[in-house]
Amino acid sequence: MSKRAARRSGGGPAIDVLIPAIEKDLHTLPYVIDSIRAFVRHPIGRIYVVSPDSRRIRALCAKKNCTFVLETRLLPLTKSRIRYRSRTWDRSGWLYQQLLKLSGDRVCRRSFLVVDADTVFIRPHRFRIGGRPVFYCRNWSQPEYFRTYRKLMGRRKTAPRSFVTHYMLFERSKLRSLKKTMEKRHGRPWYKAILKSIDRRKQFGFSEFETYGNYVYAHRSKSCILRSARNKALSSHPSRLTGSRVRRLSKAYRTVSFHQRSVYKRGVKARRR
């Protein structure tokens, strides 16, 4: 690493990055990867892209110097075995990618940053300061996330803000402790405990970020640093993120997201979130 890159990375222990993706994410994924290298102020070890087998995603990984990981390597479960849907919506894939994120310790050998494949950093981010974890937060969430959390953990959420902000640093030891706690409490593999705890009549039955964030906060509330995420949803193509537009947006926001909410709809038009 050059001296300039070392200064930009902020020093300290390296972290890995995990990005679950499918082919619909190819229009945003290159920008996500580039933004991580530009704005994450930690040395980056490996960037893992977790996906179904895809020639196009493999090619992008080779081009961007990332490591392709077949999703079945992380979980003894496939998306087809998750039936989380109604007549108007299908959240099976949405839930599956959350389980993949919680399986990142299967490939990452250090703390790892999980980033959604549609979210681009536009300002510098640090996820540890003086050994303290930094969480980027917002002020609203889905009540169902916390009902499931209480079923899983036997306690109410304790954090004053929401952790659902499209990216989070997971510490391997704490993630493994969380999963072992689930398994001990429910007497089954952690992912089966999650699947059993969800009310499948509700669209927003589980959040990996709320679950991990509240677990860490419950044990280390005084050491956690909570910052406002300041995310902006955009409907344009990420190629329109010119330097001048990024500078303008970064005055008010830290990240931008290019969501495709329609992918969760089935048949007739689903009710808006």
Residue carrying the six token digits 């969800």: 198
Over residues 38-56, the pLDDT tens digits come to 999 999 999 999 999 999 9
What pLDDT, in 10s, does the model give residues 120-155?
999 999 999 999 999 999 999 999 999 999 999 999
pLDDT digits (tens, 9 = 90+) for 224-267: 999 999 999 999 999 999 999 999 999 999 999 998 765 556 55
Tokens 């993949």 locate to 100
Residues forming beta bridges with residue 50, ordered by sequence position: 20, 69
User: How confident is the model at residue 227, as a pLDDT?
Assistant: 98
What are residue 150's phi and psi, to 5 degrees?
-65, -40
Q: What one-character DSSP code corresponds to residue 109?
A: S
pLDDT in tens, 159-214: 999 999 999 999 999 999 999 999 999 999 999 999 999 999 998 999 999 999 99
Residue 24 has pLDDT above 60, yes or no: yes
Residue 262 is predicted with a pLDDT of 54
* Average pLDDT for 7-20: 84
Q: Coil, strand or helix: which one is 18?
A: strand
- For 87-109, the pLDDT digits (tens) are 899 999 999 999 999 999 999 99
pLDDT at 1: 37
Task: Tell me the CATH number for domain 3-264.
Answer: 3.90.550.10
CB distance 227 to 139 below 8 Å? no
- What mean pLDDT comes out for the span 56-64? 99
- In 52-144, where do the E strands start and end? 67-70, 112-115, 119-121, 128-129, 132-137
**Which pLDDT does position 272 carry in this prediction?**
32
Q: pLDDT band at residue 5, thresholds of 50, 70 and 90?
A: very low
Residue 269 — very low, low, confident or very high, per pLDDT cuts 50/70/90?
A: very low
- Residue 7: is its pLDDT beyond 50? no
How many Å apart are CA 41 and CA 45, to the nearest integer?
Answer: 12
Q: Ranked by mean pLDDT, which of 12-16, 79-83, 212-216 comes out on top?
A: 212-216
| Mean of the per-residue pLDDT values of the chain | 92
Tell me the C-alpha distance between 185 and 183, whole Å: 5
First to last CA, the chain: 44
* pTM greater than the 0.85 cutoff: yes
So where are the chain's domains? 3-264
CB 189 within 8 A of CB 196: no
The Cα–Cα gap between 220 and 229 comes to 20
* Residue 134 bridge partners (DSSP): 225
